[in-house]
Amino acid sequence: MKSRTLICVSAMILFALALPGQLADQHTQYKLIDIPTLGGPKASGQGNGIGTSQFLNSSGIVVGSADTSTPDPNAPNCASPDCFLGHAFRWQDGVLADLGTLPGGNGTANSGANSVNARGWIAGFAQNGEIDPLLSSPEGHAVLWKNGQINDLGTLGTGTESAALYVTNGGEVVGISTINTTFDPFAFFGPWRSPTHAFIEKNGVMRDLGTLGGTDSFVPGGCNDERNELVAGSSFTNSIANSTTGLPTMDPFLWENGTMTDIPTLGGTFAVAQCANNRGQVVGQSNLTGDVGCNGSLDFCNQHAFLWDHGTLTDLETLGGSFSVVVWLNNAGEAVGGANTTGDELFHATLWRNGTIKDLGTLPGDCFSLAYAVNSKEQIVGTSFACDFSVARAVLWDKGSISDLNAAIPPDSSLQLRETFNIDDRGEIVGEGFPVGCDNVDVCGHIFLLIPCNHAGTRCEGNAGISTRTGSPAITTRATTSTQRRHMTKEFVAQLRARLAHRYHIPGLRASPRD
């Protein structure tokens, strides 16, 4: 399935709820770069849902996936946005390059970029013109674009599918691959139906990371792009389904220099690692003892974010509710994500630092927010959502204040900034937005790059008279009762869980019949 990173809009009429939140004075202005598509209607960055990979490097290279103008011959119909072939792209200094697909694709294949390292190497996925025998759909392999060439990394064993999820600065590629073509009843993540293992590849050698005893292991992405031989992931520990989740027990792991360490859960039978930093700290989320809230699936499990630090597991807790999720971890051990508030009434972006959780709040009038990334200067980017989900605005938390990034660009800009992916240590931000006339990033979204006007001589004369853009209103209907607020939060968390599950849906593959 091609990347889908939209939280669905729900048409619901609610009443007012006032929320605290400090709106920052808009000191920083940005040069906005609207990165074009490859001829089709849309582009996207995070090919695996809520990602933890670098889509922007220190040289200003931005990668992602974009529609071409060529209809996709494998699209079942055009009732969905999957009408066009999507290709990986590379953008730098105003030059957009179509990275293409593997030679066997013959102009009828999809590809996607999942990360870029400091050298400009790009990890991703490309279809090869073959048909997967179990899925009866186009098959694809992990690829690495290097020095202008696409390199097929192959698969593990006799597997037919693989994908590269990130590449370190040292040149190690981390991803997942099927290991054979047998049917796996617990192939839960993504459209693949065979046993899947995490791998690490360098210099043409693909190493199977193995499992913790079950059939499958996975990696979601990598906050760490500096250290080699260090991978955070998750693995089934056996092949016996639990009645509470419908799946075998899954534990996080840290694979380091050839050794896989089993990271315990917070008492439940299901936990996943989100990423590791270069210090070997791991963050993720876990069910609680007894798999509280589970109903035979993962749909409503109570989960808490956790931090594992060289043998010490810490429950990062929530803002008083039953659910929290961590998205990014920087090298200082600061983690960001979001959590339910007391009584599960709201969901707010959070910062965890030194074992303490901080509520980052929302833009005034909004009910929900989520933080996606934090840099070494504790600048945090994310999204603030209206109470009825009708408006989503890209935001920056800096020095204790929140600001709408739409207010930091010219009022007549080509995009309404909706969602952020990365922020680097120079304060450059990459994300996704709506072009004029578009109201659905799933259909016509574009990728943007924001460059601070005071960075490296960047000039922003056109940004004079910055003010809140009329294209980014705080259109918010609100809930007056606790029941209404909890209902909306439950819906928000359900959409968030769906996006987390899509971390393992590989760009270019269609959804299976089960999806």
Q: What is the DSSP letter of 475?
A: -
How crowded is residue 59: how many other Cβ atoms within 10 Å of its Cβ?
11
The confidence band for 255, taking pLDDT boundaries of 50, 70 and 90, is very high
Place of tokens 């936990």: 271
Query: Which helix or strand (DSSP H or E) is residue 54 part of?
Result: none
- Residue 82 has a pLDDT of 67
The confidence band for 506, taking pLDDT boundaries of 50, 70 and 90, is very low
- Residue 268: φ, ψ to 5°: -85, -175
The Cα 56–Cα 178 span in angstroms is 28
The Cα 408–Cα 468 span in angstroms is 8
- Residue 104 has a pLDDT of 84
- Residue 49 has a pLDDT of 52
The Cα 176–Cα 171 span in angstroms is 16
For residue 146, give every residue at least 6 positions away whose Cβ sits within 8 Å of its Cβ, in sequence order, or none.
Answer: 121, 122
The Cα 348–Cα 380 span in angstroms is 13
**Architecture of the domain spanning 30-504:** 7 Propeller (2.130)
- Residue 501 has a pLDDT of 64
Q: Give the torsion sign (CA, 257, 309, 338, 246).
A: positive
**185-222 burial string, b = 16+ CB within 10 Å, else e?**
ebbbbbbbbbbbbbbbbeeeebbebebbebbbbbbbbb
- Residue 229 has a pLDDT of 92
Is residue 408 pLDDT above 90, yes or no? yes
The Cα 5–Cα 8 span in angstroms is 9
pLDDT tens, position by position, 292-333:
999 998 888 999 999 999 999 999 999 999 999 999 999 999
The confidence band for 405, taking pLDDT boundaries of 50, 70 and 90, is very high
pLDDT tens, position by position, 90-123:
999 999 999 999 998 778 899 999 999 999 999 9
Is residue 436 pLDDT above 90, yes or no? no
The Cα 61–Cα 98 span in angstroms is 13
Regarding predicted confidence, which is higher, 19 or 366? 366
Q: What is the 3-state secondary structure (H, E, C) of 231-272?
A: EEEEEECCCCCCCCCCCCCEEEEEEECCEEEECCCEEEEEEE
Contact 169, 118 (CB under 8 A): yes
Is residue 490 pLDDT above 60, yes or no? yes
Regarding predicted confidence, which is higher, 5 or 326? 326
Give the chain's mean pLDDT. Answer: 85
Residue 513 tokens read as 């019949």
Is residue 146 pLDDT above 90, yes or no? yes
pLDDT tens, position by position, 332-390:
999 999 999 999 999 999 999 998 999 999 999 999 999 999 999 999 999 999 988 88
C-alpha angle 190-333-392 in degrees, rounded to nearest 5: 55
The Cα 35–Cα 468 span in angstroms is 22
The Cα 34–Cα 430 span in angstroms is 10
Write down the domain spans for the chain. 30-504
- Residue 72 has a pLDDT of 87
CA distances from 26 to 76, 103, 305, 472 (A): 47, 49, 32, 15
The Cα 175–Cα 164 span in angstroms is 4
According to DSSP, the residues that pair with 495 across neighbouring strands are none
- Residue 65 has a pLDDT of 93
- Residue 14 has a pLDDT of 25
Average pLDDT over residues 170-181: 95
pLDDT tens, position by position, 216-236:
999 987 787 788 899 999 999
- Residue 460 has a pLDDT of 67
The Cα 87–Cα 294 span in angstroms is 38
First to last CA, the chain: 10
- Residue 478 has a pLDDT of 57
Task: Find the range with the poorest average confidence among 44-53, 435-444, 459-468.
Answer: 459-468
The Cα 485–Cα 328 span in angstroms is 27
- Residue 187 has a pLDDT of 84
- Residue 512 has a pLDDT of 34
Regarding predicted confidence, which is higher, 4 or 441? 441
Is residue 251 pLDDT above 50, yes or no? yes
